[in-house]
Amino acid sequence: MLIPERDKALAGIRRALKPGKKFAVVVMPRAEKLSHIAASLDIARRHAGLPPAPFEDPGMFALGDPAVLRAAFERAGFREVAIEAVASEQRFPSLAAAMEQRRNTLPEMQPYLAGLSDAERDAVWDEIEQFMRQFERADGVVVPHERLLGVGTK
């Protein structure tokens, strides 16, 4: 999902495999399946005065449509391609821990936050924290996740 010249890279991976061997990937699904990430990016863009943007390719959601992921494998010559959505969840002991993870693992936020004042950046994070409150439970924060697993055979 993050690799430029994806078709070339996948074709090279396929060439390197022995006949009959498999190649698997785990990628992010469509943005609407990970609302906590998409909303965080949307909030930052809005505070930066930027309009909503389509997610870029390459980018974290570029292969999020199962048909797109399947087509990428097939263009590279893989056969017996299988795509499966795998549900999971991310657990945090507290909202503070969830927010720390959010701050440290979304490098896509940095360009939007770079031109903002400290107060504006704080407002972004406050709004994201408000959004994340919907995932609070008695035992911490539970954020639903989904990933796509793609497998193809040489």
Q: Is the pLDDT of residue 52 over 90?
A: no
Interatomic CA distance for residues 14 and 3, integer angstroms: 15
Instruction: Quick: pLDDT tens for 81-129.
Output: 999 999 999 999 999 999 999 999 888 889 999 999 999 999 999 999 9
Question: What is the reported pLDDT for 84?
Answer: 98
Domain ranges of the chain: 6-146
* Burial annotation 12-48 (CB, 10 A radius, 16+ → b, else e): ebbeeeeeeeebebebbbbbebbebbbbbbbbbbebb
pLDDT range class, residue 58, cuts 50, 70, 90: confident
- List the CATH code of the domain at 6-146: 3.40.50.150
Question: What is the reported pLDDT for 106?
Answer: 86
User: Taking residues 30-34, what's their average pLDDT?
Assistant: 89
